[in-house]
Amino acid sequence: MEINKNVEDDGVIFMSIKEGKNSEIAAAEDGDVTILAIESSCDETAAAVVRNGREVLSNIISSQIALHTIYGGVVPEIASRKHVEKMNGCIRAALSEANLTLEDIDAIAVTYGPGLVGALLVGVSEAKAISFATGKPLIGVHHIEGHISANFIENKDLEPPFVCLVVSGGHSHLVVVKDYGEYEIIGQTRDDAAGEAFDKVARAIGLGYPGGPKIDKAAKEGNPDAFTFPQAQIPDAEYDFSFSGLKSSVLNYINQAKMQGQELDQADVAASFQKAVVEVLVSHAIKACKEYGYDKLAIAGGVASNSGLRELMEKECARENIKFYRPSPVLCTDNAAMIGAAAYYEYKKGVRFGLDMNAVPNLPLGDRERRFHGRQ
């Protein structure tokens, strides 16, 4: 995976991610489905061209993280404005890197939920405008279904059914992927999402935003056994998660240390906190595979790029003879290639959205109801 980065004048980072060289892109064959995908649900403006759900011809991400860092978190209004400014450039770059024009595209896909409403609306409006202007079909994609589908890009052999642990800034779900686009949620968080807990604890120990990657880095220097933080088990819901008790316990420790004038060892707290989160995630996911009888386990979402999670999951999967799948870190966090991967399987099923498509900030996973509005 080759990543070319360029910091623009306004601090936004423009990235072009390539699996192979452009010259290696084979010519399209009859029956190939080429999708232009758009993602703008949070603070990344992204566009990608994906062929047949698994071959990424281009993958452009314009990341606003540096802009939001000043405020300690994502400011929705700034995110929407930057999406408006960057969207056309990302799409142009995605088409140009794939050596294609809009004429070569079979469908336009876009994340329509869940996410920040103002941010989602930029991508949805753009996709609808392109669909209207070109007459090409429009496909709305659930952001989390996109994260799950990121696994199809580099793991050409992966096919459902399998278990997927989805851990992002807004979601912590344990899902059985029964078929393409068919999901059974077997566990979810009762309170904070895993990524949210990483972000809040990072802020509390002074590492700042974005918390996940900073804790991941600090944890490498720390002792994971320095503190024993609680790992919640929910009675009668063995696959559900709860991270608020763990977060409170870390915050209590920090307050006590401050009151007693002790110096806080950021790395030790980060490593012990990360260990507590990761052990719960791994043990639930492995238990689900064994009890539901699946021998394939995938991970998805921003937290899936965590090195501690990847390491422990790999070790436990090897021990239990479960095949472990994970996207490269840059495909775990928000991108449009994963949206193009998910959209392909919807396209094959005949799913088409009308121009009445709207952004749905709290769209539930596996929701089918809104999909057949308008133009088919």
- Min dist CB 104 to Zn ion, Å, is 28
Residues 6+ apart with CB under 8 A from 52: 32, 33, 344
**Pick from 181, 212, 222, 327: which binds ligand KG4 (CB under 6 A)?**
212
Residues 6+ apart with CB under 8 A from 211: 198, 199, 200, 201, 202, 203
**Pick from 334, 345, 357, 363: which binds Zn ion (CB under 5 A)?**
334
Cβ proximity to ligand KG4, 192 vs 346, nearer residue: 192
Which region among 55-63, 161-169, 213-221, 355-363 touches Zn ion (by CB under 5 A)?
161-169
Q: Does 111 bind Zn ion (CB under 5 A)?
A: no
Nearest to 222 by CA among 275, 258, 281: 275
- Min dist CB 41 to Zn ion, Å, is 7
Give the one entry of Zn ion, ligand KG4, none that residue 272 binds, where binding means its C-beta sits below a cut-off of 5 to 8 angstroms depending on kind.
none
Structure tokens at 105: 């595209």
What is the x/- site pattern for ligand KG4, positions 333-372, by CB under 6 A?
A: xx--------------------------------------
| 55 three-class SS | strand
- Min dist CB 271 to ligand KG4, Å, is 12
Cβ proximity to ligand KG4, 137 vs 327, nearer residue: 327
Structure tokens at 23: 């010259």
User: Cα separation of 333 and 13, whole Å?
Assistant: 14
What is the x/- site pattern for ligand KG4, positions 155-194, by CB under 6 A?
A: -------------xxx------------------------
Which region among 58-66, 105-113, 207-215, 278-286 touches ligand KG4 (by CB under 6 A)?
207-215
Total Cβ atoms within 10 A of residue 233: 13
Residue 185's DSSP bridge partners are: 175
Strands lying side by side in the sheet with 107-113:
2-7, 13-18, 55-63, 44-51, 34-39, 107-113, 138-142
**Pick from 213, 222, 327, 340: which binds ligand KG4 (CB under 6 A)?**
213
Residue 189's DSSP bridge partners are: 241
Q: Is 201 exposed, middle or buried (0-12, 13-18, 19+ CB in 10 A)?
A: buried
Residues in contact with Zn ion, counted by CB under 5 A, come to a total of: 2
Give the one entry of Zn ion, ligand KG4, none that residue 140 binds, where binding means its C-beta sits below a cut-off of 5 to 8 angstroms depending on kind.
none
Q: Alpha helices of the chain — where are they, by DSSP H?
A: 65-69, 76-97, 117-134, 143-154, 194-204, 211-219, 244-259, 266-292, 307-319, 329-332, 337-349
Buried b (16+ CB within 10 A) or exposed e, 21-34: eeeebeeeeeeebb
Give the one entry of ligand KG4, Zn ion, none that residue 210 binds, where binding means its C-beta sits below a cut-off of 5 to 8 angstroms depending on kind.
ligand KG4
**Pick from 168, 266, 274, 305: which binds Zn ion (CB under 5 A)?**
168
Cβ atoms 98, 32 nearer than 8 A: no
- Min dist CB 66 to ligand KG4, Å, is 15
For residues 281-340, which are near ligand KG4 according to CB under 6 A? Answer: 301-303, 305-306, 333-334
Cβ proximity to ligand KG4, 46 vs 91, nearer residue: 46
- List residues near Zn ion by CB under 5 A: 168, 334
- List residues near ligand KG4 by CB under 6 A: 42, 147, 168-170, 195, 198-199, 210-213, 216, 301-303, 305-306, 333-334
